[in-house]
Amino acid sequence: MAKLNIIKYGDDTLRRVCRPVDNITPRTLTLLDDMIETMHAAEGCGLAAPQVGVLRRIVVVEVEEGHPIELINPRIIAYAGEQREEEGCLSLPGQWGITVRPAHVTVRALNRRGEEFDVTGSDLLARALCHELDHLDGKLFIDRLEKK
C-alpha cells in the first residue's frame, strides 16, 4: 500500500465529474487499499478518488475505527431527515462550515468483488457518505454552506 497525495482546493480535478468503474481490476483494488491508507494518514473519515487525482466513481468512508467501507459506483437510493453540522474536507485543510445534509441515507454500490450492496447510515455516516459522493460529481462542501 502507498500513501497518495491529496489534491487541494484550486486544482480543477476536484470540479470534474467522475466516470463509472466498468471493470474492477487489480489496479482498482490497489487504489482502494491506497485510499484507505491515505485517509488514515490524513486522519479523515472519508476520501473520494478525485481527491487523489483519479476521476473514477470510488469512495472510502470510515466513521467506526477498523471498519472502512469501500464503495465503487455508489449512488444514493434513499434519504430522510435533515442535519445541520460543521463540516470540513481533506482537500480544504483548515476550512470548516455548517452544511445541511440528510440525517439518514442509503447508498447502493459495488464492493471490491463486484457485488452490489447497500449501506445505510445516520448522523456522521450519512454526512460522510453524502460528502464523498458529492466529490464524484465535482461538488465540494463549500458549495453547500448554510447561508447566514
Q: Which residues are catalytic?
A: 132
Chain mean position to CA 122: 15
SS3 145: strand
Find where cell 466498468 sits: 22
Q: For 65, what's the count of Cα atoms within 13 Å in the CB-facing half-sphere?
A: 1
Distance CA 92, CA 54 (A): 18
| Cell, residue 104 | 439518514
Contact between residue 146 and residue 130 where contact means Cβ atoms under 8 Å apart:
no
